[in-house]
Structure 1
Amino acid sequence: MTAPTLEVRNLCTHFFTRAGVVRAVDDVSFTVRRGQVLGLVGESGSGKTVTGFSIMGLVDAPGRIVSGSILFQGKDLASLSEEEMRHLRGNRIAMIFQDPMMTLNPVLRIDTQMIETVQAHEKVSDDEARARARDALGMVGIPSPDERLKSYPHQFSGGMRQRVAIAIALLHRPDLIVADEPTTALDVTIQGQILAEVQKLCANTGTAMIWITHDLSVVAGLADDIAVMYAGKVVEYGDVGEVLDTPLHPYTHGLIGSVPSRNKRGEPLRQIPGMTPSLLNLPEGCAFRARCPRAQTDCVQRPELREWLPARFARCHHPHREEAAAA
């Protein structure tokens, strides 16, 4: 087996506020290999986006990485200087943000921004950079790309701006892309088109991808592996088909059970009771125990992420092991 493109080990990113320490990412580990897509899922506030920002070196004060390692092709990103990260960021590692205006400058034409992006990392002519920009726009389904290159961001709809942001991330065919819910604002037909292009890119070029989302249906059709986050921790990790078919962790079980299509017609929608705990004041032991139907007295002890079945990991004292093993 070749070395993984990205290996995150025991990553902890905390925010030091006046109210206390927010453990936004707390002991997160996963691996993404060449050509593989990892789905990073969980509800709002679970730590998904901060994990992505930590990988990209984009965590601002009062937040910082306090421990752990982020190995990109064997090099620890957490130990690199800002100048070293700048050479990698946008070139070998790219991020697609949820808000396209975090990528686009509102006062510059699209061609100016895309040509500058190409020439920031490669010595190519304006004509060659423009051709690559045009091809990237076509890849994400923007019609008349030559004409649209001359437009400003405000002349695009929200969905079209997002497609431009995705095209910019694809310009250098990076080794790793971190995508933070990039298709949330797009209609389902365009979403399907972009997901197909992303799969093709990963398969043909060997690009590894982390797809951050709360949409299990997107992950089911796109990802190879899935990591489920809750309260800053990965609570389940494994093959996407196995995890979604026979989840081990009660939280994953509840997430999948609350999808409307899994409820019988006329019955009340299932939901996970209670609320996500505050990251400023997490309970002792398992953070999910107050909402968990399988919680027992030993859940006041902190569970570790352990391998309950071959290549199936869960951070739980009482997982749905029997159901998964019988499947």
Structure 2
Amino acid sequence: MTEALLEVRGLRTWFETPRGTVRAVDGVDLTVGRGEILGLVGESGSGKSITGFSLLGLVDPPGRVIEGEIRFHGEDLRAASPRRLRDLRGNRIAMIFQDPMMTLNPVLRIGTQMIETVQAHARVSKAEARAMARDALGQVGIPHPDERIDAYPHEFSGGMRQRVAIAIALLHKPDLIIADEPTTALDVTIQSQILSEMQALTRDMGLGMIWISHDLGVVGQLAHKMAVMYAGRIVERGSVDEVLDTPRHPYTRGLIDSLPMENDRGQPLRQIPGNAPPPLNRPEGCPFRPRCAHATDACLAEPEETGTPDRAWRCFHPLGSRLTEVPA
């Protein structure tokens, strides 16, 4: 059994607006173990990033976590004081953002920012902090770290800036990293290099990771487990191989079918009909019902999760069942 670093049960994060309540995250369960990468996938607006921010207590008003358990090494983070959360952020739990400039200050040298980050959580000298920063830069593949540590962010390419952001996340050898689509804006070659390095770091350091993405190809290459999110809920979860090879939820099947590699050359790309429901006007029952070819009157009710602790889905007519089989 993999040691559980993070256990999330029934997480709900809502935003109270003048037009009504936005249920951005509406009952999410997640488990991440040591040395394990969980891919959290779904369309834009499905609630993936808000889930990540909720875990770190970074949701600003009018949003708030209204319900659920968030346990890190067994500690209830929802009951933690603001000071305790500050101690954990960037130390035992780190976050990598899609845009590295959300991490980097453009007017400060890389070394200055990394040294400040080290000394915020560890009582070490400036020389020791600089050595830790230099080693972290080398760890993520930045050449000549002794020289590059004195550069400014604008002197790095986009891929190198993202590596710096990853190095900052690794400074204190955290137990858990939450990565919010950190390779989306990078070219394929750089993306592949970073994915390979993240796999190696996770394996060698024994840390856990949540990799948030809308790209099934990236998650399939990187992660061990996958959770598919739609309209604020996890609609399917399991090992990467199980979910990609035998999807049970029609939404998961639609995401897979929309990949270019799953379409015939020269033919239009297959896509899921319609659009994700607006947060303030979600349909009754299963939120995927208006876009689903298998929907029946039963789907007017909210489906409960079915399956096992390691492999589950939310659907009244899961793929492979009698009602969804297509005649030969």
Q: TM-score, normalised by structure 1?
A: 0.95
- How big is the alpha-carbon RMSD for the aligned residues of Structure 1 and Structure 2? 1.5
1:269-315 CA distances to partner (integer Å, 9 max, x unpaired)?
111000100111111100000000110110000001221x6832001
Aligned position for 1:297: 297
- Mapped partners of 2:229, 2:309: distance in 1: 20
Q: What is the CA distance between 1:2 and its match in structure 2?
A: 5.7
1:144-179 CA distances to partner (integer Å, 9 max, x unpaired)?
212211111222232222211111001111000000
Aligned position for 1:142: 142
- Mapped partners of 1:79, 1:164: distance in 2: 32
Query: Which amino acid is the alignment partner of residue 106 of structure 1?
Result: P
3-state DSSP class of the match of 1:163? helix
* Aligned sequence identity (%): 67
Change (3 A) 1:224 1:84: same
Aligned position for 1:209: 209
**257-266 or 36-45, larger mean C-alpha shift:** 257-266
Query: Which amino acid is the alignment partner of residue 315 of structure 1?
Result: R
3-state DSSP class of the match of 1:321? coil
Query: Which amino acid is the alignment partner of residue 321 of structure 1?
Result: G
Aligned residues: 323
Contact between 1:249 and 1:314, CA under 8 Å: does it hold in 2? yes
- Mapped partners of 2:138, 2:205: distance in 1: 18
Change (3 A) 1:290 1:113: same
Q: What is the CA distance between 1:185 and its match in structure 2?
A: 2.0
1:271 has 2:271 as partner? yes
Aligned position for 2:165: 165
1:313 has 2:317 as partner? no
- Mapped partners of 1:199, 1:258: distance in 2: 26
1:36-84 CA distances to partner (integer Å, 9 max, x unpaired)?
0000000100000000000111000000000001110101111212111
- What pairs with 1:1-327 in structure 2 (closer than 5 Å)? 1=1, 3-307=3-307, 311-322=310-321
3-state DSSP class of the match of 1:229? strand
Change (3 A) 1:72 1:203: same
**141-150 or 167-176, larger mean C-alpha shift:** 141-150
3-state DSSP class of the match of 1:201? helix
1:119-166 CA distances to partner (integer Å, 9 max, x unpaired)?
111122222221221121122222221221111122223222221111
3-state DSSP class of the match of 2:4? coil
Contact between 1:97 and 1:180, CA under 8 Å: does it hold in 2? yes
**147-156 or 71-80, larger mean C-alpha shift:** 147-156
Change (3 A) 1:13 1:38: same
Query: Which amino acid is the alignment partner of residue 132 of structure 2?
Result: R
Query: Which amino acid is the alignment partner of residue 61 of structure 2?
Result: A
- Mapped partners of 1:311, 1:248: distance in 2: 14
Q: What is the CA distance between 1:97 and its match in structure 2?
A: 0.7
Could you list the structure 1 runs, at least 4 aligned residues long, displaced by more than 6 angstroms after superposition: none
Query: Which amino acid is the alignment partner of residue 204 of structure 2?
Result: N
1:156-215 CA distances to partner (integer Å, 9 max, x unpaired)?
232222211111001111000000011112222222222122112211221000000111
